[in-house]
Amino acid sequence: MTLTSSVYDQIRTDIVSCLLEPGQKLRIEALKARYGLGTSPIREALNRLSSERLVMQIDQRGFIVAPVSLEDLKELTETRCMLYEVLLPRSLALGDQDWEEAIVLAQHRLLRTPWTIGDPPRLNPDARRAHRDFHRSLIAASGAPMLIDLMDTLFDLTDRYRMVSQRSQEPLHRDTAAEHRAMADAVINRNVEDSIRLAQAHIRETSERVTRHLTEKALAA
């Protein structure tokens, strides 16, 4: 792995996890100290992240973490929903036994991986990866690698919003394990209609919760 790829992965993870917060200035000198690398690989990584909408370059004033907005969240949500309408039927039609077993394994890993670690508790990066791997497993047999990679990117962009909303005091009252189990069952049973419906409902429920949090935060400001 090159230095640029290494620091790209580190900055990307910190942005998606909201350790680098939306709108935060990304000063080169501060990033050099944070990641222990020189100017060139950090600038290259920031330029790459700009193409993924995680970082913004503000004229000649440098880089900032991309802000969040309800409009952006809505677009991300609906784009993911539309792509599921394309990729899930293909995956259900083309998937074999190995694909089914990979879904079961991904679901098991997600269920067994704690969402928080440490004291004080912080997000477990392994849980976030397990969550993305589960969603990827559902469409892995679609035979559309470029669209699968796009879904990964959209997942990360959306997941950043979920991290922002973790500060919400709203009770969860949500059994995400049951939602994931229902999605996996529908996909493995080759039920196209239920697979799409459940995946879209899962995404939209998360979006609605984040929207409530962002709206409440704006009203309280």
User: What is this structure's pTM?
Assistant: 0.87
CA dist 28 and 39 (Å) reads 7
Residue written as token pair 């640029």: 4
Residue ranges with strand state E in 10-145: 25-26, 55-57, 63-65, 116-117, 122-123
Residue ranges covered by each domain of the chain = 3-65, 70-220
Q: Is the bond preceding 22 in cis, omega lying within 30 degrees of 0?
A: no
Q: What is the pLDDT of residue 216?
A: 79
- State the DSSP code for 19: S
Query: Class of 3-65 per CATH?
Result: mainly alpha
Residue ranges with strand state E in the chain: 25-26, 55-57, 63-65, 116-117, 122-123
Q: What is the pLDDT of residue 167?
A: 54
Q: What is the pLDDT along the chain (221 residues), one digit of tens a residue?
A: 677 788 999 999 899 888 899 999 999 999 999 999 899 999 999 999 999 899 998 877 789 999 999 999 999 999 999 999 999 999 999 999 999 999 999 999 999 998 878 777 677 788 889 999 999 999 999 999 999 999 999 999 999 998 887 655 454 567 899 999 999 999 999 999 999 999 999 999 999 999 988 887 766 65
Q: What is the pLDDT of residue 106?
A: 98
Sheet containing strand 63-65, edge to edge, reads 25-26, 63-65, 55-57
Q: What is the pLDDT of residue 58?
A: 85
Q: What is the pLDDT of residue 219?
A: 67
- State the DSSP code for 159: H
CATH of the domain spanning 70-220, picked from 3.40.50.720, 3.30.70.20, 1.20.120.530, 3.40.800.20: 1.20.120.530
